[in-house]
């Protein structure tokens, strides 16, 4: 099983904001810190805002911050909300299932249980649980233009 970059970036944004506590951050700050595309982060931040994980304010004094306390954000919930689907096998989706042995195959159940276990483990952890060392994310200093 492999999570998408979209989910990876979503988790990174939330981790960074959890370290900032009640302070705001900018998309540019996040892009510079993680060395990832600002354009990708714009989409991720927009989606996280729509899903209620973060608050966004535009403008000169704008920025982004967590909408909920880190202890209330479950990692499993974030992963479920950011992954496009969890159809690990064709037979997981009745609309696309064309497998001739699907009705009698036990593999489907085994893989479904493994997937449920994976998500169940993620559900046991919150964003706050990921913050075991205080202030591990320091903002990258902005280069002064002379």
Residue 44 located in a structural domain: yes
For residue 37, give the CATH number of its domain: 1.10.10.10
3-state secondary structure of 63: strand
pLDDT of residue 132: 65
Please give the C-alpha separations between residue 42 and each of 22, 92, 134, 141, in angstroms, as whole numbers.
Answer: 20, 32, 27, 21
pTM for the whole thing? 0.83
pLDDT of residue 135: 54
pLDDT of residue 108: 85
Residue 142 located in a structural domain: no
Residue 140 located in a structural domain: no
Q: What is the CA radius of gyration of the chain?
A: 19
- Domain extent at residue 107: 5-130
Total Cβ atoms within 10 A of residue 143: 7
Who's near 46: CB < 8 A, 6+ residues apart? 56
Residue 125 located in a structural domain: yes
Residue 143 located in a structural domain: no
Task: Number of helices (H) and strands (E) in the chain: give both, helices first.
Answer: 5, 2
Number of domains the chain is built from = 1
Q: What secondary structure letter does DSSP report for 79?
A: H
Tens place of pLDDT per residue across the chain (146 aa): 789 999 999 999 999 999 987 899 999 999 999 999 999 999 999 999 999 999 999 888 889 999 999 999 999 999 999 998 888 888 888 888 888 888 888 888 898 899 999 999 999 999 999 986 655 555 544 444 43
Tokens 């595309």 belong to 37
Residue 121 located in a structural domain: yes
Residue 144 located in a structural domain: no
């Amino acid at each position: 099983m492999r999570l998408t970059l979209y989910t990876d970036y979503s988790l990174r944004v939330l981790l960074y904001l959890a370290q900032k506590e009640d302070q705001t951050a900018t998309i540019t700050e996040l892009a510079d810190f993680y060395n990832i595309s600002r354009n990708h982060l714009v989409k991720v931040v927009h989606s996280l805002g729509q899903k209620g994980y973060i608050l966004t304010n535009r403008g000169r004094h704008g920025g982004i911050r967590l909408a909920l306390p880190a202890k209330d954000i479950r990692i499993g919930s974030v992963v479920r909300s950011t992954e496009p689907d969890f159809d690990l096998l064709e037979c997981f989706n009745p609309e696309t299932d064309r497998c001739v042995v699907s009705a009698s195959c036990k593999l489907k159940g085994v893989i479904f249980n493994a997937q449920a276990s994976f998500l169940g483990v993620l559900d046991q952890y919150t964003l706050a649980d990921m913050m075991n060392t205080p202030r591990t994310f320091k903002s990258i200093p902005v280069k002064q233009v002379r």
